């Protein structure tokens, strides 16, 4: 259930991080009415292009709960998640997202979220990034091995 204090916490993190010269993004993950993890954008300070606020919060929450599924958790983020972070939310089974700024707001200050959403929605051959398929027959072996495993952990 939405609580304004959690949204304000995510926003507070985003403002504080921007003031320090980090990306202007913050996020918290809530479970059972309590914040269990937080994250701010650390792309430039950690030299990690994947270190968005939501990714950091998701990784921190998984570490804390010692499980890869965050079912039962909610994400509060200062900005609409980019497609990387939104996909991570799906992979982590988070129940719900609350966000402040939109991807259009982010585009206005120079972030590529909106562009990447657009690229992902296009067929492979129409994207600006060159993507080519190779050796599918050989690659399928890994899927066959996986498919036949008896005691695998699915996700």
Helix (H, G, I), strand (E, B) or coil at 74: strand
Contact set for a second copy, span 100-129 (CB under 8 A): 100-102, 105-106, 108-110, 112, 115-117, 119-121, 129
Catalytic residue from among 54, 56, 74, 80: 54
Half-sphere exposure of 81 (CA within 13 A, CB side): 26
Residue among 72 and 146 whose Cβ is closer to a second copy: 146
- 70 forms part of the interface with a second copy (CB under 8 A): yes
Contacting residue, 11, 30, 38, 73, with a second copy by CB under 8 A: 11
The residue within the footprint of a second copy, chosen from 24, 27, 28, 29 (CB under 8 A), is: 24
Q: How far is the CB of 126 from a second copy (least distance, A)?
A: 13
Question: Which of residues 32, 33, 49, 123 is near a second copy by CB under 8 A?
Answer: 49
Separation CA 73–CA 21 (nearest Å):
29
- For the CB of residue 35, give the shortest distance to a second copy in the complex, in Å: 16
Rounded CA separation 153/119 (Å): 32
Residue 32 CB, nearest distance to a second copy (Å)? 18
Number of residues that bind a second copy (CB under 8 A): 91
For this structure, is 54 an active site residue? yes
Strand partners for 34: 31
Choosing from 9, 58, 73, 114, the residue that interacts with a second copy (CB under 8 A) is: 58
DSSP of 1-60: ---HHHHHHHHHHHHHHHHTTS-S-EEEEEETTEEEEEEE--HHHHT-TT--HHHHHHHH
Does residue 1 bind a second copy (CB under 8 A)?
Answer: no
Ramachandran region, residue 86 (left: φ > 0; alpha: ψ -120 to 50; beta: rest): alpha
Catalytic residues: 54
């Amino acid at each position: 259930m939405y609580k304004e204090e959690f949204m304000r916490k995510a926003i507070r993190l985003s403002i504080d991080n921007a003031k320090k010269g980090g990306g202007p993004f913050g996020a918290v993950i809530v479970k059972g009415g309590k914040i269990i993890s937080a994250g701010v954008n650390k792309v430039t300070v950690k030299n990690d292009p994947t270190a968005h606020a939501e990714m950091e919060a998701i990784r921190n929450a998984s570490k804390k709960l010692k499980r890869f599924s965050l079912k039962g958790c909610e994400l509060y983020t200062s900005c609409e998640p980019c497609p990387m972070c939104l996909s991570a939310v799906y992979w982590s089974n988070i129940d719900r997202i609350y966000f402040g700024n939109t991807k259009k707001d982010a585009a206005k200050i120079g972030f590529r979220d909106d562009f990447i959403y657009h690229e992902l929605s296009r067929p492979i051959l129409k994207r600006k990034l060159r993507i080519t398929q190779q050796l599918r027959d050989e690659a399928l072996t890994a899927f066959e091995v996986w498919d036949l495993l008896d005691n695998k952990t699915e996700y």
